[in-house]
C-alpha cells in the first residue's frame, strides 16, 4: 500500500475510505494500518501545497479520529482500543496545529481510562509525539495548555467527583504525564487557565475543584478567585454570553464576599492587560468588556453611559497605556511563541484604536517595546513585527516622526533580509510619501544599503546624504560624523562609527596634511579624538571595536598637539549645596532623560521612567502656571518636555523586595570583580544609610 502513496496524491474521498481501516473488524488489518498511517499522511502533507485542501483533509481526519476512538471505547475490546490509540499517536507525530491538538487530547482521554495496557500505549505515544516535535513533555503541555485545561475540567465534571481527594488524584496523574515533579508547581502553572472552566459550571463539583486547588496551593478559595479574577473575567468576556458572565460574577462575589467594584479595584490594571492582550482576536468582545470596566469605575467622561465610540475608548485607555506596554514587555520576554505573536498582533490593534495623539505621547516607550520583537526570528514572527512597525510609523504625528527617523530605519535593517517587501514599503512611506515633511532628517540616513528593492529610496537619499562623494569639505564630514557617534541610540552610534571609519580611510591625505602642515591641531579633531577615547568605556564590544578601528585610521598623533582640555571642558562636574537646589534638579532630570532615551533594554527604560516620575513628584515639576515647579519645567526644551509630560501621571511602582545587606567591596574583590559590580554594591550600601524621614 505504501509504495502507491509515494507517487500519488490522496483525495478526500479516498482518505475517508482509508480511515475506515482504523475500525476494521480484522485485528491484523487494524494493526498493520496503524503501523503505516503516519508514513502515508506524512507523504501527503509534504506533497500537498494547497492550504484549503489541507484544511479539508485535517477536518476529515479529526472527525475520523473522534469517531474511531468513540467506537473503540463502546466496543469494550481492549485490543481494538490499543490499535486506535496507536494509530492516533502515529498520526500525531506527523500532524500540526488542530490535528496535533486533537491527537494530544485524544491520547490524554485514552490515558485517563482505567485499562492499564491502554494507559501505557497512550503515554508512550504522547512521549513519541513530543520527541518528534523536539519538545519536552512540559513544553508540549505549555503549547496546548488552554485546551488541555479545558479537557481536564470537563473530564473531572463527568466523573462526578465526591471529594477533594478524588480531584487531587486526577491532578497527580496529569502532572505525571507532563513531567512535572511537584504537584504544587503544576497547579500554580495552570490555575489561571483552568479556573475559568471551573467557575463556568457553578455547581457543587465546581466547589470541590476549587477546594482541591486551594488545598494544593495552601491558599483560601477566596484568595484564589481574587488573584485569578483578571483571567476569569477576560475569559468570560471573550467566550461567554452576557448572561453567563453575570452568573459567573455572582458566583465569584458569593465565594469571595466582595462586591464587583471591589474585585475590579483589586485587579484594576491586570484586568485591562488581560483584555487588551486579546484585542486582535476578539475585538468586539474586548471592547465591550472594557466598556463595562469604564462604566463600573465611573470613568466614562462624565456621561455615565457605556462607551461605544473608539475616540471615547482611546481617552479612557490612555492613562493605562504605559501599564499595558510594561505588561507587553513581560509577555514578549517570558511567554511562549504563540503568546508573543498574540501580544504583538494585539499591540497593532491597540495602536490603531488609540490613534496618533496617544501613540505619539508614548512613542519612546513603544519603540523600546517594538525593539524587543526584533529578537525573534521564528517562522511568521518577522512578518507580524513588520506589521507592528508599519502601524507605528503611520500612527505618529508627522511633526514628531522626523527626530526618530534614523532610529526607526536602523531598527528595521535586520528585517530587510527576511521581509524585504514589507520593509521597503515602510521606507517608501517615510522617504517618498513623506519627503516634504521629513527631508531635513534624510542626511542622517547614510547607512541605508544599496539593494535592488531600495533603488528609488536611495535615489532620493543621495540628494541629501552628506557622504564622501557629495562633500569636499573634510571638516564638514567630521562635524557630521561627530554628531552621529554621540547619538543616544546604540545602533545609530554603531552605523555612525562605520561611516566615520570610511571617511577617515578615504581622507587619509587630508588628515596627514592637517596634522603635519600645522603647528596646532584644529579643535574639531581634538573633539573627535576625545569623543572616541571616552567612548571606549562603552560595554558593547561592537562599539569598542568600531572605536578602536577609527582610532587606528587616525593613526599616531602627538598628544601634545591636541587641545584635550578644551575638548573635555563640556564635561565639567558641577557641585550643588543641596538636593533642593533647582540647578541640581534640572541636571538630574536631564541625566535621567538621557538614560531613558539611550536605554537599549526595556527594563532599563522602565527604571529610568520610574525615576523621572518620582523626581518630578518630589520637585513638584509641572506645566501648570503658578505652580511651585513651573519655573523648573520652563527651563527644559520642548523635546524633553514631551517626554516628561507623559510621566506626570504615570503609575510606575518599584518592586517591593526585602532589604538585604549589601557589602562594601574592595575593587576587584569577589563582590567587586568588575567596575559595574563594585559601583552597584557601593551604591546599595549607601542607600541603606538613607533615612526615610529625610530623603
In terms of Cα–Cα distance, which of 328, 315, 313 is closest to 274?
328
How many helices (H) and strands (E) the chain has is answered by: 39, 0
The mean pLDDT of 171-182, rounded to a whole number, is 90
- Which own/partner contact pairs does 256-265 have at CB distance under 8 Å and 24+ positions apart? 256/222, 256/225, 256/226, 257/222, 258/222, 258/226, 260/296, 261/296, 263/226, 263/229, 264/293, 264/296, 264/297
pLDDT tens digits, residue range 499-538?
888 888 887 877 777 766 666 666 777 778 888 887 887 7
In this predicted structure, the answer to whether residue 353 has a pLDDT above a threshold of 90 is yes
d(CA 169, CA 183): 10
**Cα separation values, 177 from 111, 125, 411, Å:** 9, 11, 43
Please give the average per-residue pLDDT across 207-226, as a whole number: 91
User: Highest-confidence range of 6-20, 477-491, 651-665, by mean pLDDT?
Assistant: 477-491
Kindly state the average pLDDT of the residues 349-376: 91
pLDDT at 268 over 50: yes
**Surface-to-core class of residue 607, CB atoms within 10 Å of its CB (0-12 exposed, 13-18 middle, 19+ buried):** middle
User: Which positions ≥6 away from 180 have C-beta within 8 Å?
Assistant: 138, 186, 189
Closest Cα partner for 371 from 428, 322, 332, 419?
332
CB 342 within 8 A of CB 278: yes
Is the pLDDT at 388 greater than 90, yes or no?
yes
d(CA 501, CA 528): 12
Task: Give the model's pLDDT for residue 9.
Answer: 58
Out of 70-84, 319-333, 341-355, 659-673, give the one with best mean pLDDT: 341-355
Quick check: helix, strand or coil at residue 172? helix
- Helix ranges, 539-674 (H): 541-554, 564-567, 582-598, 602-618, 630-634, 638-646
pLDDT digits (tens, 9 = 90+) for 312-342: 999 999 888 888 888 888 888 888 888 899 9
Please give the average per-residue pLDDT across 40-68, as a whole number: 67
Mean pLDDT confidence for 162-186: 89
- Give ∠ CA 536-537-539 in degrees, rounded to 5: 105
Distance CA(377)–CA(26), nearest Å, equals: 49
CATH of the structural domain 319-465, one choice from 1.10.3470, 1.25.10, 1.10.730, 1.10.150: 1.25.10
Asked if the 471-561 domain carries CATH number 1.25.10, the reply is: yes
Q: Would you say residue 100 has pLDDT above 60?
A: yes
Which residue in 66, 87, 89 sits closest to 22, CA to CA? 87
CB 159 within 8 A of CB 166: yes
Name the 3-class secondary structure at 466.
coil
Indicate the burial class of 46 (C-beta count within 10 angstroms; 0-12, 13-18, 19 or more): exposed
Summarised one tens digit per residue, pLDDT across range 414-451 is 888 889 999 999 999 999 999 999 988 888 787 888 88
- 114-119's contacts with Cβ under 8 Å and 24+ in sequence apart are 115/78, 115/81, 117/78, 117/82, 118/78, 118/81, 118/82, 118/85
Query: In this structure, are residues 126 and 108 in contact, taking their beta carbons and an 8 Å threshold?
Result: yes
Q: What is the 3-state secondary structure (H, E, C) of 87-124?
A: HHHHHHHHCCHHHHHHHHHHHHHHHCCCCHHHHHHHHH
- Per-residue pLDDT at 344 exceeds 90: yes
CA distances (Å), 563 to each of 67, 286, 517, 527, 558, in order? 86, 63, 17, 8, 11
Q: Residue 73 belongs to what H/E stretch?
A: helix 51-75
- DSSP one-letter string for 241-255: -HHHHHHHHHHHHHH
Which distant-in-sequence residues (6+ apart) come within 8 Å of 239 by Cβ?
Answer: none
User: Do the first three CATH levels of 319-465 and 471-561 match, i.e. the same topology?
Assistant: yes
78-94 helix and 27-47 helix, angle to the nearest 10 degrees: 10
Whether the Cβ atoms of residue 633 and residue 622 lie closer than 8 Å to each other: yes
Give the mean model confidence (pLDDT) for residues 378-388. Answer: 89
Q: Where are the domains of the chain?
A: 1-134, 319-465, 471-561, 582-689
Helix (H, G, I), strand (E, B) or coil at 673: coil
Q: Is the pLDDT confidence value at 167 over 70? A: yes
Instruction: Classify residue 462 by its DSSP letter.
Output: T
Cα 34 to Cα 28: distance, rounded to the nearest angstrom: 10
Lowest mean pLDDT among 308-317, 669-678, 686-695: 686-695
* Pick from 221, 316, 219: nearest CA to 275: 316
Read off the pTM.
Answer: 0.79
Rg of the Cα atoms in the chain? 32
> Which of 97-106, 192-201, 309-318 is the least confident region?
97-106
Best CA proximity match to 97, nearest among 312, 293, 379 = 379
Q: What average pLDDT does the chain have?
A: 82
Q: Which residues contact 454 (CB under 8 A, 6 or more apart)?
A: 424, 427, 448
Looking at per-residue pLDDT, the higher value among 610 and 17 belongs to 610
Around Cβ 664, how many Cβ atoms within 10 Å? 13
CA distance linking residue 266 with residue 260, whole number of Å = 10
Q: Quick one: average pLDDT of 571-592? A: 81
Residues 347-381 as b or e (16 or more Cβ within 10 Å = b): bbbbbbbbbeebbbbbbbbbbbbbbbbbebeeeeb
Q: φ and ψ at 622, to 5 degrees? A: -150, 155
Q: How far apart are CA 403 and CA 396, in angstroms?
A: 12
pLDDT at 13 > cutoff 60 = yes
DSSP 8-state code for residue 377:
-
Amino acid at each position: 500500500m505504501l509504495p502507491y502513496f509515494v507517487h500519488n496524491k490522496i483525495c478526500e474521498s479516498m482518505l475517508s475510505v482509508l480511515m475506515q481501516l482504523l475500525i476494521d473488524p480484522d485485528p491484523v488489518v487494524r494493526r498493520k494500518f496503524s503501523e503505516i498511517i503516519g508514513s502515508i499522511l506524512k507523504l501527503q502533507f509534504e506533497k500537498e501545497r494547497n492550504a484549503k485542501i489541507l484544511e479539508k483533509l485535517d477536518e476529515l481526519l479529526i472527525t475520523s479520529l473522534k469517531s474511531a476512538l468513540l467506537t473503540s471505547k463502546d466496543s469494550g475490546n481492549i485490543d481494538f482500543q490499543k490499535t486506535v490509540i496507536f494509530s492516533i499517536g502515529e498520526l500525531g507525530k506527523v500532524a500540526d496545529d488542530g490535528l496535533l491538538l486533537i491527537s494530544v487530547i485524544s491520547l490524554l482521554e485514552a490515558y485517563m481510562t482505567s485499562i492499564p495496557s491502554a494507559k501505557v500505549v497512550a503515554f508512550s505515544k504522547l512521549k513519541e509525539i513530543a520527541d518528534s516535535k523536539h519538545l519536552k513533555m512540559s513544553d508540549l503541555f505549555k503549547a496546548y495548555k488552554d485546551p488541555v485545561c479545558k479537557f481536564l475540567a470537563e473530564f473531572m465534571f463527568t466523573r462526578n467527583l465526591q471529594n477533594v481527594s478524588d480531584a487531587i488524584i486526577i491532578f497527580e496523574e496529569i502532572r505525571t504525564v507532563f513531567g512535572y515533579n511537584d504537584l504544587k508547581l503544576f497547579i500554580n502553572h495552570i490555575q489561571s487557565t483552568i479556573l475559568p472552566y471551573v467557575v463556568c459550571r457553578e455547581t457543587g463539583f465546581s466547589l470541590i475543584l476549587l477546594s482541591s486547588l486551594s488545598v494544593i496551593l495552601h491558599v483560601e478559595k477566596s484568595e484564589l478567585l481574587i488573584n485569578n479574577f483578571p483571567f476569569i473575567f477576560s475569559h468570560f468576556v471573550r467566550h461567554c454570553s452576557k448572561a453567563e458572565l453575570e452568573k459567573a460574577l455572582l458566583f465569584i462575589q458569593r465565594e469571595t464576599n466582595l462586591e464587583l467594584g471591589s474585585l475590579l479595584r483589586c485587579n484594576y490594571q491586570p484586568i485591562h492587560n488581560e483584555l487588551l492582550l486579546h484585542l486582535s482576536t476578539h475585538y468586539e468582545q474586548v471592547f465591550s468588556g472594557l466598556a463595562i470596566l469604564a462604566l463600573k469605575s465611573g470613568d466614562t467622561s462624565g456621561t455615565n453611559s457605556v462607551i461605544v465610540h473608539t475616540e471615547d475608548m482611546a481617552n479612557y485607555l490612555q492613562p493605562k497605556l504605559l501599564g499595558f506596554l510594561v505588561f507587553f514587555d513581560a509577555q514578549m520576554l517570558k511567554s511562549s511563541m504563540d503568546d508573543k505573536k498574540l501580544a504583538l498582533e494585539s499591540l497593532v490593534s491597540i495602536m490603531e484604536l488609540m490613534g496618533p495623539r496617544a501613540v505619539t505621547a508614548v512613542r519612546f516607550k513603544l519603540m523600546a517595546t517594538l525593539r524587543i520583537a526584533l529578537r525573534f526570528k521564528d517562522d511568521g514572527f518577522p512578518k507580524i513585527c513588520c506589521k507592528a512597525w508599519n502601524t507605528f510609523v503611520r500612527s505618529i504625528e508627522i511633526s514628531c516622526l522626523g527626530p526618530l527617523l534614523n532610529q526607526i530605519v536602523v531598527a528595521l535593517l535586520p528585517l530587510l533580509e527576511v521581509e524585504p517587501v514589507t520593509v521597503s514599503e515602510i521606507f517608501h512611506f517615510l522617504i517618498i510619501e513623506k519627503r516634504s515633511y521629513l527631508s531635513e532628517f534624510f542626511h542622517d540616513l547614510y547607512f541605508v544599503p544599496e539593494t535592488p528593492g531600495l533603488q528609488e529610496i536611495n535615489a532620493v537619499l543621495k540628494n541629501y546624504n552628506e557622504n564622501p562623494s557629495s562633500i569636499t569639505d573634510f571638516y564638514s564630514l567630521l562635524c557630521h560624523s561627530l554628531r552621529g557617534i554621540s547619538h543616544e541610540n546604540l545602533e545609530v552610534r554603531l552605523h555612525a562609527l562605520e561611516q566615520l571609519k570610511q571617511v577617515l580611510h578615504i581622507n587619509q591625505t587630508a588628515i596627514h596634511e592637517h596634522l603635519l602642515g600645522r603647528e596646532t591641531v584644529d579643535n574639531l579633531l581634538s573633539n573627535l579624538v576625545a569623543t572616541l577615547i571616552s567612548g571606549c568605556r562603552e560595554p558593547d564590544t561592537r562599539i569598542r571595536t568600531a572605536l578602536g578601528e577609527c582610532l587606528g585610521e587616525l593613526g599616531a598623533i602627538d598628544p601634545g598637539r591636541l587641545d584635550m582640555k578644551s575638548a573635555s571642558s563640556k564635561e565639567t562636574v558641577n557641585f550643588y549645596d543641596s538636593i533642593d537646589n533647582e540647578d541640581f534638579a534640572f541636571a538630574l532630570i536631564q541625566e535621567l532623560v538621557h538614560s531613558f532615551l539611550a536605554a537599549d533594554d526595556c527594563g532599563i527604560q522602565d527604571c529610568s521612567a520610574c525615576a523621572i516620575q518620582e523626581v518630578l513628584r518630589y520637585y513638584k515639576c509641572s506645566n501648570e502656571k503658578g505652580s511651585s515647579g513651573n519655573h523648573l519645567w520652563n527651563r527644559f526644551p520642548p523635546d524633553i518636555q514631551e517626554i516628561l509630560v507623559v510621566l506626570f501621571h504615570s503609575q510606575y511602582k518599584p518592586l517591593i523586595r526585602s532589604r538585604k545587606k549589601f557589602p562594601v567591596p574592595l575593587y576587584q574583590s569577589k563582590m567587586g570583580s568588575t567596575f559595574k559590580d563594585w559601583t552597584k554594591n557601593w551604591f546599595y550600601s549607601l542607600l541603606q544609610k538613607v533615612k526615610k524621614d529625610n530623603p
